Amino acid sequence: MIKNPSRAGGRLARHALLACLLLVALNAAAQTPAASDAAPARTEVKESTAEHGKFSQLKKPFKTGEEVTEACLSCHTEAARQVMATRHWTWDYVNPSTGQRLGKKTMLNSFCIADRSNEAFCNACHVGYGWKDDRFDFSSERNVDCLACHNTGQYAKIPGLAGHPAYQRMEYPPDSGKFVEAVDLPKVARRVGKTSRATCGACHFYGGGGDGVKHGDLDSSLKQPDRKLDVHMGVDGGNFTCATCHKTESHRIAGSRITPTASDPHRAILRGEKTDRNPASCQACHGDQPHQPGPGAGLLGSLTRGDRLNAHTRTLACQTCHIPAFARGGVPTKMFWDWSTAGTLDADGKPFQKKDEHGHVIFDSKKGDFRLGENVEPDYVWFDGRVDYTLKSDRIDPAHIVRINAFHGDAGEPDARIWPVKRFRGKQPYDLEHLTLLVPHTATPDDTALWFNYDWDRALAAGTAAAGQPFSGRFGFVETEMLWPITHMVAPGEQALGCVECHSRDGRLKAVSGVYLPGRDHSLLLDRAGFGLAGLALLGVLGHGTLRIFTRRKHKGHGND
Amino acid sequence: MIERIYLFKRFERFWHWSQAALALTLLITGFEVHGSYSLLGFGQAVSTHTTAAWLLVGLWIFAIFWHFTTGEWRQYIPSFDQLGAVIRHYSYGIFLGRPHPYRVVPERKHNPLQRLAYLGLKLAINPLIWASGIAYLFYAQWRDLAPAWLGLQEVAIAHTLGAFMMLVFLIAHVYFTTTGPTPLAHIKAMITGYEETH
């Protein structure tokens, strides 16, 4: 019933539009009678104007990644300089709103904790070649890895090789019995292309040490998702690549969780429009009033569902309703990671793993205990886009859960919206005397790394030394929490949350304060007084009625009619 | 001798019964939106509530017009003449089988207690529900202009207060319909328009 006015309005608008188009078309046909002759014969046309396979520069027996980069730069002369100006290269960033020095180079998290002393392993995800310690040359253009993002398959940077792929078949880690095949560099180089879900995903789907571990809304299921998993990226939906939204100019990629856009109360960005807005926000394409309004666009239109939903955009992030759950693609995400049990060996002194009924690892002597989640209902928090982090130099209070990052924002602030987040918890090492979170040395094979020696003392001594962190030698494990904004895995509209998911006494927004939420909130006093009074009124009339029935019988003889 | 008086004209009866149906719908869906129970589902309850509210607004506009053009609004001018007698009747006279002290005529069809109750409904309960309901509905349009003390919570509380008052009115009103010469006499009168006096 409610929908009719808006539909009728929409139909009217569509008819009007159709009529206009028809007029324009007739007009055009009248003016250019030969227009139909101009249609070219259909041929298979490549999207790109350049076929890299035909380039002589790329027909070389490349031995190393750096040689490929030099070939790329012989035409794309500015590309390396552009990349080197981005966080993909620097892993270093000063947050302008807090002044905190951020970026993977310095930050801690509650997954693999930090890359310091583990560079050769972790920095397989650096867009460069050779970053294995603090002597890496950040100014050398040939160290930039073009292929990491521009390969179209069969290229992999191996953890442990400091950003290099395997140039020959090799056993890695040494003496592990596991072999890595050599990459065919000449072939990969001749088939370069645009970035894809697979190239971005090669790192961003595997953050935190494995598929889906870190984000919850990014995992390998997004390589070939259906539209039910992600309406934009779905191969049967928009088939977007990451760069469709994360619009890139001069290798600067828009949109980042380090400086997120929590609210964007504007209409859609027009093509060609000069703007500082983040093109990766939902509103950049959909605008901030994305639901079909009723007639009168909001004034009379408070009648309609579309207007009512549009009014919600003042309070909610789009993601809150449109991502009903994360880790929906069949890949579980880590929800809890307890490092304190890492190093536990079996009766024979050997490392071991435990798996759950689905075959997912839930304990590993290297890493400790995990709890995994699939189809996880997010937590919801007020968020205005400002985040600050607990850095390795910050003092912590081990009596409370240490927040690795803190999302700011309060109800009623113009920039704050209610956002869905993954609330990741865990336990990780801290210094009992200095009260700081500690960087362990874990991943590269030597005689101090935790994953090869199962000895926390040596691992922390080596990790903190590499990180330039004081370490008293006494350590414990503190509970930590980290929030991850949920923004991918946007479901089709019909799967968006229904009203009652939040508008009920026990709904999803139960813990979100600062806003009056009909259906959830009520004045207990008024309810008691109101229902009490109604109850008394009911008792009163029932009593009065009963008394009438009894007395009426008594007086019936007197004739009441 | 039974006398039949034409008391409720056609529009008046239409107005009364559609208002009754809408008020009942609004109470049922309203308390669902309030979170007191789950019946239609929140979204459906909201749309039904909103639709019924707009219909009632439309009906009220007609009713107000009707009251003023016909002069029927005078029926609600408070009168304290015989008020004591009417209260005494409902307090004990009714149990003694005594006849109602008030003589109904078309120009004065409501007894003094009814006049006061309906005037209260029209001047206190309805305006409270109207004002708070419209503020609730158009919250998105005025929230930026509102002083700090006035938010959705205050509006919702005022609206809920109005709803409780309406609920209590409804309970009493429905009960009083049974206090006629026969339990269904008043209801019959509101359907046919004719009241039988004795």
Domain ranges of chain B: 3-197
**Residues 287-326 (A) with a CB less than 8 A from some CB of B:** 298-299, 302-303, 305, 307-308, 310-311, 314
* pLDDT band (50, 70, 90) for residue A300: low
Using CB atoms, which residue from B43, B171, B175 is nearest to A534?
B171
Quote the pLDDT of residue A302.
Answer: 63
Mind giving me the DSSP string for A401-432? -EESEEE---TT-TT-EEEEEEEEEEEEEEET
What tokens were used for A447? 């005689």
Contacts with B172 from chain A: Cβ below 8 Å = 537, 541
Q: Which residues pair with A217 in a beta bridge?
A: none
What tokens were used for A152? 């179209």
pTM: predicted TM-score of the whole model, two decimal places? 0.88
What is the tally of structural domains in chain A? 2
What tokens were used for A300? 């009379």
Domain-located, residue A200: no
Domain-located, residue A449: yes
Cis peptide before A265 (omega within 30 of 0): no
Quote the pLDDT of residue A4.
Answer: 44
Answer for the pair A491, A474: CB distance below 8 angstroms, yes or no. no
A279 Cβ partners below 8 Å, 6+ apart?
A245, A246, A247, A254, A255, A269
Last residue of a domain, one of A438, A461, A485: A485
Q: Of A99-103, A356-360, B184-188, where does the model show the most confidence?
A: A356-360
Range of the domain at A114: 51-145+153-191
Distance in angstroms (rounded) separating the CA atoms of residues A357 and A372: 12
Cβ neighbours around A513 below 10 Å, total: 11
Q: Of A294-298, A300-304, A347-351, B108-112, where does the model show the most confidence?
A: A347-351
Using CB atoms, which residue from A500, A522, A547 is nearest to B43?
A500
For the segment A307-317, the average pLDDT, to the nearest whole number, is 93
In tens, the pLDDT along A400-419 reads 999 999 999 999 899 999 99
B146 Cβ partners below 8 Å, 6+ apart?
none
For the segment A428-436, the average pLDDT, to the nearest whole number, is 98
Answer for the pair A146, A57: CB distance below 8 angstroms, yes or no. no
Chain A nearest-CA distance from B14, in A, is 23
Picking from A421, A426, A427, the residue whose alpha carbon sits closest to that of residue A511 is A421
Cβ neighbours around B14 below 10 Å, total: 14
Answer for the pair A520, A504: CB distance below 8 angstroms, yes or no. yes
Give the residue from B31, B37, B42, B44 with the most A CB atoms within 10 Å of its CB, the best one to mutate: B42
Provide the percentage of residues in chain A whose pLDDT is more than 70: 89
Quote the pLDDT of residue A3.
Answer: 40
Q: What is residue B94's DSSP assignment?
A: G
Chain A nearest-CA distance from B186, in A, is 15
Answer for the pair B7, B104: CB distance below 8 angstroms, yes or no. yes
Quote the pLDDT of residue B30.
Answer: 97
Distance in angstroms (rounded) separating the CA atoms of residues A226 and A525: 50
Helix (H), strand (E) at residue A150:
helix A147-150
Cβ neighbours around A128 below 10 Å, total: 28
What CATH number labels B3-197? 1.20.950.20
Cβ neighbours around A197 below 10 Å, total: 23
In tens, the pLDDT along A239-287 reads 999 999 999 999 999 988 777 899 999 999 999 999 999 999 999 999 9
ipTM of the complex: 0.92
What tokens were used for A167? 């140039």
Which chain B residue's Cα is nearest to A501?
B42
Phi, psi of B61 (to 5 degrees): -60, -45
Contact B35 A518 (CB under 8 A): yes
Give the residue from B54, B144, B175 with the most A CB atoms within 10 Å of its CB, the best one to mutate: B175
Could you report the average pLDDT of every consecutive run of 10 residues in chain B (198 residues)? 83 95 97 96 93 93 94 90 90 88 86 90 94 93 91 96 97 92 89 82
Lowest mean pLDDT among A112-126, A149-163, B183-197: B183-197
Chain centre to alpha carbon of residue A440: 26
Quote the pLDDT of residue A142.
Answer: 97
In tens, the pLDDT along A442-489 reads 999 999 999 999 999 999 999 999 999 999 999 999 999 999 999 999
* pLDDT band (50, 70, 90) for residue A105: confident
Contact A303 B50 (CB under 8 A): yes
Contact B153 A505 (CB under 8 A): no
**Residues 505-534 (A) with a CB less than 8 A from some CB of B:** 505, 515-516, 518-523, 526-527, 529-531, 533-534
CA atoms within 13 A on the CB side of A264: 24
Using CB atoms, which residue from B47, B153, B156 is nearest to A305?
B47
For the segment A120-141, the average pLDDT, to the nearest whole number, is 95
Domain-located, residue A353: yes
Cβ neighbours around A533 below 10 Å, total: 15
Query: Chain B residues with CB-CB distance to A under 8 A?
Result: 33-36, 38, 41-43, 46-47, 50-51, 54, 90, 94-97, 137-141, 143, 151-153, 156-157, 160-161, 163-164, 167-168, 171-172, 175, 178-179, 181, 198
* pLDDT band (50, 70, 90) for residue A552: confident
Answer for the pair B64, B80: CB distance below 8 angstroms, yes or no. no
Phi, psi of A338 (to 5 degrees): -105, 100
Residue A16 has pLDDT above 60, yes or no: no
Last residue of a domain, one of A439, A456, A485: A485
Last residue of a domain, one of A485, A520, A555: A485
Answer for the pair A325, A377: CB distance below 8 angstroms, yes or no. yes
Distance in angstroms (rounded) separating the CA atoms of residues A432 and A471: 9
Which residue, chain included where needed, has tokens 């539009």? A17
Chain A nearest-CA distance from B92, in A, is 10
Domain-located, residue A302: no
Quote the pLDDT of residue B170.
Answer: 96
Answer for the pair A482, A110: CB distance below 8 angstroms, yes or no. yes
Domain-located, residue A137: yes
Chain A nearest-CA distance from B72, in A, is 29
Answer for the pair A354, A362: CB distance below 8 angstroms, yes or no. yes
